[in-house]
Structure 1
Amino acid sequence: MQAARGTPVGGDDGDLDRGPDPSEQPEDDMAVTRRRRRTVWPIFALVAAAMLAADQYTKHLAIEHLTGQPDKPLIGDLLQLRLTFNPGAAFSMGTELTAAITVLAIVASVVVVVLSLRLRDRLWAVSLGLLLAGITGNLFDRLFREPQAFHGHVVDFLMLPHWPIFNVADICINVGAALVLIQVFRGVGLDGSRTTADADLGEDSPS
């Protein structure tokens, strides 16, 4: 009789009709997102802090040990130490635009920090961490070194054959920029999502 009236025998119709609660899925996704951020953002902060400290410490050593000294070979003729003070950008470019470069560096630092809030991918975290360390390392020199604020000269001391003298901050900027390009070409977003055509084809392909 129960079956004739449309009521399942030995079961509850609510149990059979009940599906997954749609409200649960967004909560799960948000939890995963928060967990990724807690894991990835410290990588960004640690890389930025460690490389900024390395840049400033090596500049301190360069000033202390290379002032008034002749070139010192570090790896034979391949890499030598020569202390110079650069009023321009990386690799001695834009020496007449120190104040403008300083303002651009401040803006770039803010942009990198804002982008870091969206980080969910480890390689992106390393990339932006290196960029921030490099930008702020040279920015510190322009703000606080002689001759005056916003016109300070950047400490450079690493010299390769036929190459402008540079420092650890310059290395960070170039390596960070190279990693950013790798991520862009791979189609990986800041949140780790794939944006390549292959990913789109994978989503459209029949299961």
Structure 2
Amino acid sequence: MPGKAVRRRSGAPSKGDLREQKILEVLEDLLAVKSFDALTTNDIAERAGLSRASMYFYFSSKQEALVALFARTVEALREKSRAAADDPAAPRDAIATALRRTRDRWREHGLIMRVAIDQASTIPELGALWTETAEIFIDAIAAILVRAGVAAHDAPDGARALAGAVCWMVERTFYHASAVSIEALDQAAATCEVVWLRIAAIEP
């Protein structure tokens, strides 16, 4: 009808959504060749084909863009962790699946995850995102440990305490290995699986 605006199809990204996505993709690409500290907002805007003013319409700083990129990255980790907690498979298989999914995410986005972890001390939002994500993973690890027969009490040898140790072991191990090579990351995942199985009293 004349004078009636055409409604965008539900689910179709707007131009603004696509530009924001482009900025985040550009940021991740630039971090492969330039440190975050050396990177400028103008670098991001130029690579994305935007003016500096247009860049500020979407993100007020490179820090804000990094937070958005990291949030997008860890959301998949959260989903996979929730899936691990609900995995009906035997504990051995659930552990293997959880570590494989986590390893795959580090394979795809290890760089941005390392940068975000490094910047977390100066950008509180990054630290909060990572801590929240870790808590979801800890819940999943604890659930699997309990199903494997580990006591659910609050003592140091209880499932929750052990799950926390496993979570941060995986984080540090994957952090370092992902900076070396895919092969190193695969080896790290295999080693973490052995440790997790032994904590669960399952023969590797």
- The answer to which structure has the higher strand fraction is 1
Q: Would you tell me which structure has more helix in proportion to its own residues?
A: 2
| TM-score, normalised via structure 1 length | 0.27
* TM-score of the aligned structures, taking structure 2 as reference length: 0.28
Which structure would you say has the larger RCO, counting Cα contacts within 8 Å and 6 or more residues apart? 1
